[in-house]
A and B are shown apart, each in its own frame.
Chain A
Amino acid sequence: MLLNWCDWLQHSWWVASLDGSVALSVLVELGHYFGFFLIVGSIVVVDLRILGLAGRGHDAARLAGQLFPVMWTGLFFALLTGFLMFADDAVALFPNPVFRIKLLVVLLAVIFGAIVQWRVGRWDRFARIPVSAKCLAAVSLALWIGAILSSVEVPHLTYVP
C-alpha cells in the first residue's frame, strides 16, 4: 500500500515539474545540503563542548542556547527538501535498505539531539559535567557522523554493484 502511495507521489504533477527543472533541482539540493550543514555543525559543537573538547571558557548551556535554534532551522529545511528529493525517486528509495537505515539513523540522531538540548541546563549546574552526559553527547556525535555516512552510501551501494 505504501509502495502504491510512493508511485502516486513520484508521478504527481508537481514532482514531475520539479524533476524537469534544473533550477528547482539545484535549489532543493542546496536547501538539503545547507540544512544539514546547520544541523550537524551546531549539534556537533554542542556535543564537543559537553565532552570538554570545545569552548571550555563558557557554560555549555549558553552555547547550546545560542546554537539550538540554528539546528532546528536547519532541520526544517533538510526535512522539507529531503521529502522533495525522496518524492522524485520514491518507488526505488522506499524499499532500499540503505535508505531505511539512513532514516533510522537520522531519527535516532534527532532524538539524541533533543535529549541533549533538554538536559544541558541541568548538566551545567554540576561542578563537572556528569559522565552519563558525556556518553549521550558521544552517541549523538557518532549518530550524526553515521547519518552523513549512511546518506552518501545510499547512491553508492544502490547504483554501483
Chain B
Amino acid sequence: MPGLSLEMPTHTAIVDDYDVVRRVIAGEINAFGVLVRKYQGHVLSVVGNHIPYNQAEEVAHDVFVKAYQSLLTFKFKGGFKQWLSAIAVRTCYDFWRKEYRSRETPMSCYSEEEQNIVKRALATQCMQATFQENSRKEASELLNKALDRLSPEDRMVLELVYLEALSIKEAAGLLGWSIANVKIRLFRSRKKLRKILKDFLED
C-alpha cells in the first residue's frame, strides 16, 4: 500500500509514543519535536498522496500543529501513528474543501492542455508503456485534472479506497465517516470519475 501504511506499530513503539505524549501534555513542549522527527516522513507520505507536491510541506506543517492542539483528546488506546494519520487525512480533506470553495468558475469544459495530454497518451498504441517511459508525470497530471472535477468528499474517498487500496473500514476510520457513507460515496465517485475519464477519451 503506497504511503499510507496502517500496519500496527510494535508495543514498544506505542509505549514510547505514549511517554512522549504524556511529557508534552505535562508542559514539555520540546518533547513534541521527537514526534515530529519520528513521523514527518509518514505524514509527508500521507499528505503527498493527496496534495500537490509544492503544497505538501505546508499541509504537513498544519497536520503537526493540529496534532499538538488536539493532543489532550488523544485517548492512549490505539497507536499515535494511526491517530496522526487520521489527522493528516482530515487536514487534506479540509485543504480540498477550501480549494473547492475558492474555485471561481466550475470547470465544465476541457481545456486545450487537458485535451493535449489525452491525445499524447492515446497517440501510441500501448499507453501503459508510454506512461512508464516518459509520461508518468503527465498521467499524474491528467488524474489530478480528473480529480479536480470531483467534490472534496468524492476525491478523498476515491483516493483512499480506489487509488491507495485501503479497506472501506480503514477509510471510514481515517475520515471519521460511517462505513455506509464511505460505500455510497465510493460508488458515486467511481461513477463520476469513469464518466470524466470517458469524456476525456471521447473528446
Does B associate with A? no
Mark B residues whose CB is within 8 Å of A: none
Mark A residues whose CB is within 8 Å of B: none
